[in-house]
């Protein structure tokens, strides 16, 4: 096989392939063997008729079409891989010779991923939440834990937020009882904002024995009328929290002292806040990289990303035992409407991907064997395999698969290169050390990966 690639206008190339007559004979033999299994000839068992007999009975052209349909896609894929053509759409194939006999030649015109250049990627700025836990954060978490072990005690003072009121509630709309808003002995925490805000407004300052009657706006914006409520306050209780001491630490946790418990709470909050800050950083950098791309994005790239997001959504729903159609019914969308809602983020992701490829090219960023191993480890974690299992599978597969992994590692490395140069501040404008965004708050910001895509 011989092949060449010629650049055309509009992010397209022409891949020209020549297959010698002797080489194509192998495909013809295979096609005749396949045909022999399908056609019954007198005197021969299925699949046992020789090629010369098949040609004599059916004609030499009988299997050529089958051979071409098998060979052309295979040789096209080999040519694309050999020349490292980054195709993003199906090819338009034209068999220029050999349709009837002799050597085969064909041209494949295909759209390729555009190669772009961008500037300003080394001067990005990001604002993220403060990754360090504040005293207020820690105190709130401690109070939440104490609340779990709190005891309810009846009170005679007026109710305030945080108290629990036992109520009989009757709700009606246009003079008819609303089933979901009518219940007896309902335990309601004052200030929680459930149902409608008017309930909390009325319960604040109430006492046991009070009867509250009031109107409230309907939570459904399509309904114009008012809800009518009648509430009997039967009891008001406050939550008495236990002291935050060593005895509480032993009862509420695996720790023996409040100092150990407090340190653990602080560490947990810190990890959560650092993860939130990292996510904000990566998200903002992706948006800004996409904003640096002024080129038009080919539609196949956007469509591929939409499909990728749909697949991810369907897999996520499937893991929860939810069918996609049930999800669509719940959100009131059709499949086309869902796909359309994904176009804007898909376009942004496609732009960010092109931007990172541009960064890799501009900064001569290449993936080392170590980078590839890290990429394989991240991919393996996503699919529930060990890194060694996935690596063996990739190395044993087609060359294009290894190239895809190498490309994924290169793009991840380019993203890390950009992240290392972003100016990071908190909402007040205070600088944030990049190391403080790592899970332990000390090591370097961990590498981030993006999924390898088929197009």
Q: For position 389, what pLDDT does the model report?
A: 80
- Compute the distance between CA of residue 154 and CA of residue 226 in angstroms, rounded to an integer: 33
In a domain, 447, yes or no: no
Dmax over CA atoms of the chain, in Å, equals: 106
Question: Within a 10 A sphere around the Cβ of 265, how many other Cβ atoms?
Answer: 22
199 and 277: one domain? Answer: no
Dihedral of the CA atoms 78, 84, 86, 91 (nearest 10)? -30
285 and 232: one domain? Answer: no
Q: What is the CATH number of the domain that holds 330?
A: 1.10.3120.10
User: What percent of the chain lies above the pLDDT cut of 90?
Assistant: 67
pLDDT tens-place string over residues 175-222: 899 888 999 999 999 998 888 899 999 999 999 999 999 999 888 877
- Compute the distance between CA of residue 299 and CA of residue 263 in angstroms, rounded to an integer: 52
Q: Hey, which residues does 15 pair with through a beta bridge? A: 5, 108
pLDDT band at 143 (very low <50, low <70, confident <90, very high): very high
Q: For position 453, what pLDDT does the model report?
A: 42
- Predicted confidence (pLDDT) at residue 60 exceeds the cutoff of 70: no
209 and 301: one domain? Answer: no
In a domain, 124, yes or no: no
Q: For position 450, what pLDDT does the model report?
A: 38
Single out the residue of 191, 185, 154 nearest to residue 170, CA to CA. 185
235 and 349: one domain? Answer: no
329 and 426: one domain? Answer: yes
Mean pLDDT of the chain: 88
Single out the residue of 14, 24, 1, 18 nearest to residue 91, CA to CA. 14
Containing 229, the helix (H) or strand (E) segment is strand 226-240
103 and 44: one domain? Answer: yes
Structural domains of the chain, count: 3
233 and 376: one domain? Answer: no
Look at residues 214, 240, 266 and tell me which one is the last residue of a structural domain.
Answer: 240
In a domain, 450, yes or no: no
Name the least confident of 93-102, 217-226, 343-352, 405-414.
217-226
381 and 427: one domain? Answer: yes
206 and 300: one domain? Answer: no
DSSP 262-275: HHHHHHHHHHHHHH
Quote the tokens at residue 35.
């045909």
Look at residues 211, 240, 269 and tell me which one is the last residue of a structural domain.
Answer: 240
What one-character DSSP code corresponds to residue 113? P
Host domain of residue 411: 258-437
Q: What is the CATH number of the domain that holds 193?
A: 3.10.50.40
For the chain, report the end-to-end CA distance as a whole number of angstroms.
25
pLDDT tens-place string over residues 206-218: 999 999 999 998 8
In a domain, 280, yes or no: yes
The torsion angles phi and psi of 238, rounded to 5 degrees, stand at: -110, 155
Output the CA torsion sign for 432, 435, 437, 442: negative
Q: Quick check: 149 and 251 in contact, CB under 8 A?
A: yes
Single out the residue of 351, 293, 353 nearest to residue 120, CA to CA. 293
pLDDT tens-place string over residues 356-407: 999 999 999 999 989 888 888 888 887 778 878 887 877 776 777 788 888 9
In a domain, 400, yes or no: yes
- Predicted confidence (pLDDT) at residue 5 exceeds the cutoff of 90: yes
Look at residues 59, 88, 111 and tell me which one is the last residue of a structural domain.
Answer: 111
- Predicted confidence (pLDDT) at residue 327 exceeds the cutoff of 90: yes
- Best-predicted range by mean pLDDT (30-34, 39-43, 52-56): 30-34
Q: For position 35, what pLDDT does the model report?
A: 67
Average pLDDT over residues 290-310: 95
In a domain, 355, yes or no: yes
- Compute the distance between CA of residue 254 and CA of residue 260 in angstroms, rounded to an integer: 9
286 and 379: one domain? Answer: yes
Please list, in sequence order, all residues whose beta carbon lies within 8 angstroms of the beta carbon of residue 257, skipping any fewer than 6 positions away: 246, 249
407 and 267: one domain? Answer: yes
In a domain, 449, yes or no: no
Average pLDDT over residues 71-81: 93
In a domain, 134, yes or no: no
Q: What is the CATH number of the domain that holds 86?
A: 3.30.70.1050
Q: How far, CA to CA in Å, does 314 sit from each of 319, 326, 332?
A: 9, 11, 16
- Strand, helix or coil for residue 417: helix
310 and 401: one domain? Answer: yes
Q: For position 442, what pLDDT does the model report?
A: 53
């Amino acid at each position: 096989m011989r092949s060449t690639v010629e650049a055309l206008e509009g992010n397209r190339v022409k891949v020209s392939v020549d297959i010698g007559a002797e080489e194509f004979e192998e495909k013809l033999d295979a096609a005749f063997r396949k045909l022999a299994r399908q056609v019954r000839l007198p005197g021969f068992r299925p699949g046992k008729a020789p090629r010369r007999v098949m040609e004599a009975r059916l004609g030499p052209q009988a299997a050529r079409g089958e051979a071409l349909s098998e060979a052309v896609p295979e040789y096209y894929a080999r040519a694309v891989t050999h020349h490292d053509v980054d195709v993003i759409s199906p090819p338009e194939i034209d068999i220029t010779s050999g349709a009837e006999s002799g050597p085969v030649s064909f041209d494949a015109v295909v759209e390729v991923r555009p190669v772009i250049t961008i500037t300003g990627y080394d001067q990005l700025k990001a604002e993220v939440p403060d990754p360090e836990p504040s005293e207020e954060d820690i105190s709130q978490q401690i109070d939440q834990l104490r609340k779990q072990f709190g005891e309810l005690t009846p009170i005679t003072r007026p109710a305030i937020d945080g108290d629990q009121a036992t109520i009989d509630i009757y709700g009606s709309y246009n003079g008819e009882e609303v089933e979901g808003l009518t219940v007896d002995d309902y335990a309601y925490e004052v200030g929680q904002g459930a149902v409608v805000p008017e309930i909390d407004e009325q319960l604040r300052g109430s006492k046991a024995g009070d009867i509250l009657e009031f109107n409230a706006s309907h939570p459904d914006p399509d309904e114009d009328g008012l809800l009518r409520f009648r509430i009997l306050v039967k009891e008001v209780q406050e939550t008495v929290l236990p002291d935050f001491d060593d005895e509480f630490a032993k009862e509420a946790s695996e720790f023996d002292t409040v100092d150990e418990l407090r340190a653990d709470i602080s560490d947990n909050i810190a990890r959560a806040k650092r993860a939130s800050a990292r996510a904000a950083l990566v998200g903002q950098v992706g948006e800004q990289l996409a904003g640096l791309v002024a080129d038009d994005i080919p539609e196949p790239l956007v469509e591929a990303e939409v499909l990728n997001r749909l697949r991810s959504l369907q897999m996520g729903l499937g893991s929860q035992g939810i069918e996609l159609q049930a999800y669509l019914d719940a959100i009131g969308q059709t499949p086309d409407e869902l796909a359309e809602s994904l176009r804007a983020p898909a376009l942004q992701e496609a732009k960010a991907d092109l931007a990172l490829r541009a960064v890799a090219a501009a900064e001569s960023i290449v993936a080392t064997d170590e980078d590839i191993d890290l990429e394989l480890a991240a991919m393996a974690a996503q699919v529930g395999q060990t890194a060694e299992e996935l690596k063996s599978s990739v190395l044993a597969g087609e060359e294009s698969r290894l190239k895809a992994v190498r490309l994924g590692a290169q793009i991840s490395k380019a993203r890390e290169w950009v992240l290392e140069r972003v100016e990071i501040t908190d909402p007040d404008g205070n600088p944030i050390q990049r190391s403080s965004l790592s899970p332990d708050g000390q090591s370097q910001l961990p590498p981030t990966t993006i999924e390898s895509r088929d197009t």
